[in-house]
Amino acid sequence: MQARNLKTLTIQQLLQLHGESTQELRRRGVVRSANNPLADYAEFLVCCTLRLSPAGPSTKGFDATDASGNRYEIKARRRAKGTEPTRFSALRDFEGGHFRYVVLVLFADDYTIERAAVLTVSAVRKRAFYQKHVNGWIIPLNDRTWAGVGVRDVSRELRIEQTRLKHRLAADYTQRDNERRG
């Protein structure tokens, strides 16, 4: 791939590049929407790594299920340059019992895995706090979140899967698409 000097591109060109990238990620099945790709990419990577099945589009309360029917909610954050995130996005209707596990994925600025863990609902309950103005439960991004009873570190597994997927070329996806049509 030939590198582009992004500093020479106009705002319009940068936005077009973003749109084209998102379209290609959708074609490859990595993201499912035209929204910010972080959440979709995290769900894709977690499902590939943990062998989960993604929930249908706009399914309320969970993102994936395992072979036993256990439901998983997947939350992701990215450390963009110059920022220090302090929390994951809110868990809505946490008390509704929609999921059994929460998978947290923290990406570095370049979208590589910094940390990842699977937490039981009980572990989340001990770490999260309710915030009325967002109408949801917040999981703080601190050391306590990543360790303890009910927390399984899956950082290594996600990094291995991310490396494996990194080497898949566009041709691999084109071949897959052709096989589906044929």
Residues of the chain whose pLDDT is less than 70? 1-4, 169-182
Convert the pLDDT of each residue in 10-59 to its tens digit. Answer: 878 887 888 888 888 888 888 888 777 899 899 999 999 999 999 998 88
What is the predicted pLDDT for the residue at 1? 46
Domains of the chain: 36-175 (3.40.210)
What is the predicted pLDDT for the residue at 58? 80
What is the predicted pLDDT for the residue at 37? 86
Which residues have a Cβ under 8 Å from the Cβ of 6 and sit 6 or more positions away? 14
pTM: 0.83
Stated as kind and residue range, the H or E segment containing 170 is helix 170-181
What is the predicted pLDDT for the residue at 31? 87
Stated as kind and residue range, the H or E segment containing 104 is strand 101-107
Identify whether the C-beta of residue 13 lies closer than 8 Å to the C-beta of residue 23.
no
What is the predicted pLDDT for the residue at 177? 57
What is the predicted pLDDT for the residue at 144? 93
